[in-house]
Structure formats: C-alpha cells, structure tokens
Structure 1
Amino acid sequence: MPVQGTPDQFVGILRDTVVALVRRDGPDLSARQLGVFLTVYLGEGPHTVRGLAASLNVSKPAITRALDRLGELDFARRKTDPQDRRSVLVQRTVKGAALLREMRSIMGEAAAAAEDVDQRPAAQAANTQTATKRAS
C-alpha cells in the first residue's frame, strides 16, 4: 500500500520521529547506524557486512563501526557464517525488534498528528462557511 503525502509532510514526520527518539530515555543512533539497523530489520536477509556495504554504498569499515555500536546496544549481533567462515552474518535481536516496534509506533503517531494538522484548515474553512450561512 503506497503511502500518500507530500515531501514536506514526510520530512515533518521524520523530524518528529527523530525528536521523539532523542527525547526518550535510550541511546541515540547516528544516521549511518540507523540506516544499517533499518536495512537489517526491514530488508530480506541474511545480511553480511559486504552486502550491507554494497546496498548502502559505504565502505566495509563504516559498516563495521556501525555494527560495533549496534552490537554494544544489543540491537544487532554478528555471527560467523557456518557455510563460509570468511563471511560474517548480521543477526537481529529481541532488543532491536523492540526498538523497531517503538519506532513504528512513534512514526504512526507523528503521521496521525501530521494528518490532523493537514485536515484542520479544511475543517476550519467548513466551520467558517457554516457560521457564515447561519449568520445570513
């Protein structure tokens, strides 16, 4: 189902979501860490360092640093691929899944608030027209 809205609405939802994440009692993620996190949790797995670097178009060391932080926070975990011991698989965690649920909830609230703001001018115009008709 495609999401409808304007770029300004989407940016506003992103802003509200990021602000809510910053205000909550928990760790902050950089844009790169968040990009890696969301790619792991929303993309089809299995995920490797090499694959993440390719899909995000960043270096493997940049992915490794992001995964170091995600690992410290228990949002993702690395495991040696049993089929190719040279490769490292990135796994989801229960704590990471909880963060994703929280992010979905925050974004849903931000989207609902944005929709309410967009509908207010139309509702105010309708109320003004109704009041004008009553006064006539």
Structure 2
Amino acid sequence: MAVQSNPDQLVGILRDTVVALVRRDGPDLSARQLGVFLTVYLTDGPHTVRGLAAELNVSKPAITRALDRLGELDLARRKVDPMDRRSVIVQRTLKGTAFLRDMRQIMAEAEGAVPSSTASANDPASSEAGRRAS
C-alpha cells in the first residue's frame, strides 16, 4: 500500500529532484521544457504543437522553443504528420525514455531522503515553533 505524502514532502521531493538534475551531467531543462517533456512521455499521443499549447495553456511559439531545445538534446523529435502535412507530431526518443527512467530513479531516491515529519531541521519556522513548544 502506498503511503500518502503531504505537500511539504512533495515539494521536498521536487526540490531534491530538480537539484539532482541540475548537478548531474546531462540536460538541464527549464520548467516549460520539463512540462512539455513530461506531457509527451506521460500522456497518450499523438502530440502536436497545437495540442501541447492547448494542454499546457501556453502559446504555440513557446512550445516550439521548448521542442527546439528538446530536439537539440535528442529528448524528443518532430515529424510532419503524413495524414495532414500542415501538422507536426512530437515523437519520443530512446534518449528521452532513458532520461525519464533516470528521473524516476532520482525521484525515488529523493522520496527516500525526505523526512516523513512535516517539521524540518533546516526550516527556521519549524525550529522556532519547536523551541516555543518546549
């Protein structure tokens, strides 16, 4: 049975994951690029620039810029839709699949490192509240 994480734990996992991604050798994605990447890899396709823009509620040029970067890193590729040559389909890549696998591993490790209590020794507000309660 999975244990439900509280919001502070989830934010801690997110922080630890982002820090690990930034520190490691490999792609350093912006929030928008990561949002596009995760949408392509975690939701059923086919994905188009127009569809991603609608789903993420951002402009098509913003999606295009994110896909340009993902393409440079070989994390996703664009292909003209053979059924409608005006449309571009976003495809997953082997390198992108490996990046997602690595990201899942990093998140699992971060989840194990996050304390289960909501009070953190590094959080001055929690430390202050603890001192006042004593």
TM beyond 0.5: yes
The equivalent residue for 1:29 is 29
- Percent identity between matched residues is 80
Give the aligned CA root-mean-square deviation in angstroms: 1.6
Secondary structure of residue in 1 paired with 2:116: helix
Distance 1:4 1:105 in 2: 19
Shift of 1:27: 2.1
Q: Which residue of 2 aligns with 1:39?
A: 39
Structure 1, unaligned stretches of length 5 or more?
Answer: 122-136
Instruction: After the TM superposition, list the runs of 4 or more consecutive aligned residues in structure 1 that deviate by more than 6 angstroms.
Output: none
Q: What is the CA distance between 1:90 and its match in structure 2?
A: 0.1
**Conservation of the 8 A alpha-carbon contact between 2:9 and 2:116:** no
SS of 1:104 mapped into structure 2: helix
- Letter of the aligned partner of 1:34 in structure 2? L
Secondary structure of the corresponding residue to residue 91 of structure 2: strand
Which residue number corresponds to residue 82 of structure 1? 82
Structure 1: distance between partners of 2:37 and 2:30: 10
Please say if residues 78 and 88 of structure 2, whose CA atoms lie closer than 8 Å, have aligned partners that are also in contact.
Answer: yes
Give the aligned length: 118
* SS of corresponding position for 1:74: coil
Asked if the contact 2:37–2:70 (Cα under 8 Å) also holds between the matched residues in 1, the reply is: yes
Aligned-partner Cα distance in 2 for 1:111–1:22: 17
Residue 3 of structure 1 deviates from its aligned partner by 6.3
Distance 1:98 1:37 in 2: 12
Higher-helix-fraction structure:
1
For 1:83 and 1:48, locate their aligned partners in 2 and report how far apart those are by CA, in whole Å.
13
Q: Counterpart of 1:118?
A: 116
Match of 1:65 in 2: 65
